[in-house]
Structure 1
Amino acid sequence: MREIRGRRIEPLFDEAAIAAAVERLATEIAARPPREILVVAVLKGSFVFAADLIRAMHRNGLAPEVEFISLSSYGSGTQGGDVRVVRDIEGPVAGRAVLLVDDILESGRTLAFARDLLLSRGATSVELAALLDKKMHRVAPIEADYVGFDCPDLFVVGYGMDVGHAFRELPFVGHVLPDEA
């Protein structure tokens, strides 16, 4: 347990485990065709994972191009609803193999929307890499092709993921413990 900004955070996946998972994922990605890949990172949470992954892909002989998309899922309360594009990618995807990269695959609504959007724009394929997979929350019919870790049913922060715009900078993934009474 670590105390950061007055909050207690229990690490789940440390720096070494994350680095090993990223390298494993890059090796898996490089072992499969195609060799020319457009990486589309889903902002904001995936930015650290995506940066590490594309560098690891380079070490494994790939030269991915990179785009960014920002999506918002809105609905009532904490339940996600419709998904909308907040910031779109800049280039065309028609005729391209796409690797959609996100920090966590949970309900699957947002990533299913992004996958379908890219396919509708003519991507030849859309594979998904997620650092964390929370299968117990899945409501959309989607699975990741590449997964770093199965994630327990906890709210996680760090390595790009936040709560109230805090904790993105942490080099590990952890969960915030409840305040002691």
Structure 2
Amino acid sequence: MAVVRGKRIEVLYSASTIAARNLELAKEIGERDYRDLLVISVLKGSFIFSADLVRAMHDAGLEPDVEFIMLSTYGAGTEAGEVKILRDIDSDVAGRDVLLVDDILESGKTLTFARDLIMQRSAKSVGLCVLLDKSMRRQAATPLQADFVGFECPDHFVVGYGMDVGHAFRELPFVGVVAGDA
């Protein structure tokens, strides 16, 4: 168990496990018939996952363009609220295959919003790739499923590998759960 910022962090997915899964995901993505692929990273939580995944995609022979969108549903708390665009993409998605990359799929609210937004802008297709899927948290009103999933995640609040609590722990090279004070 790691101790970071005075907290005990239980490791759920190690850096090496994540790296291996990223390469597998890149190969799975490469098996799709994507043309003129645009990867859109949903910030902030997915920035590390997206960077590693795009590099793995290169290793798998893919040549995606990369964009970033910043959406907010949490603010400073942990309960999902209204989805807001804080930073939009610059690229035109019309006629393109788009892959939205996010850190975690829980309620489905953020990715449903993002997918619908990109489809309204006339994308050819919109795929979804998430590092973690908390399928038990999906709301009945949004029965969203990701096309590519790194790991099924237990129902814990997770940190690390870009994900935070109060802007802390994003730097961790693994995904873990805060287990308490050290």
Band of TM-score, shorter chain: over 0.9
CA–CA distance in structure 1, aligned partners of residues 35 and 21 of structure 2: 20
Contact kept in structure 1, 2:6 and 2:181, CA below 8 Å = no
- Taking only the aligned residue pairs, the percentage that are identical comes to 64
How do residues 1-181 of structure 1 correspond to structure 2 at under 5 angstroms? 1-73=1-73, 78-139=78-139, 140-179=142-181
**Counterpart secondary structure, 1:147:** strand
Uncovered stretches (5+) of structure 2, i.e. residues with no partner: none
Contact kept in structure 2, 1:83 and 1:110, CA below 8 Å = yes
2:65 counterpart letter in structure 1: E
Quote how far apart the aligned CAs of 1:152 are.
0.4
1:40 counterpart letter in structure 2: I
Please report the TM-score for the alignment, with normalisation by the length of structure 2: 0.94
Uncovered stretches (5+) of structure 1, i.e. residues with no partner: none
Quote how far apart the aligned CAs of 1:78 are.
4.8
CA–CA distance in structure 2, aligned partners of residues 15 and 7 of structure 1: 19
Quote how far apart the aligned CAs of 1:179 are.
3.5
Contact kept in structure 1, 2:9 and 2:180, CA below 8 Å = no
Please report the TM-score for the alignment, with normalisation by the length of structure 1: 0.95
1:160 counterpart letter in structure 2: G
RMSD of aligned residue pairs (Cα, Å): 1.4
**Counterpart secondary structure, 1:82:** coil
Contact kept in structure 2, 1:36 and 1:62, CA below 8 Å = no
Quote how far apart the aligned CAs of 1:166 are.
1.0
2:72 counterpart letter in structure 1: S
Runs of 4+ in 1 over 4 A off after TM superposition: none
Quote how far apart the aligned CAs of 1:80 are.
2.1
Quote how far apart the aligned CAs of 1:74 are.
5.8
Aligned length: 179
CA–CA distance in structure 2, aligned partners of residues 55 and 78 of structure 1: 30
CA–CA distance in structure 1, aligned partners of residues 78 and 7 of structure 2: 22
Residues 11-37 of structure 1: CA distance to partner in whole angstroms, max 9, x if unpaired? 000011101110000000001101431
**Counterpart secondary structure, 1:178:** strand
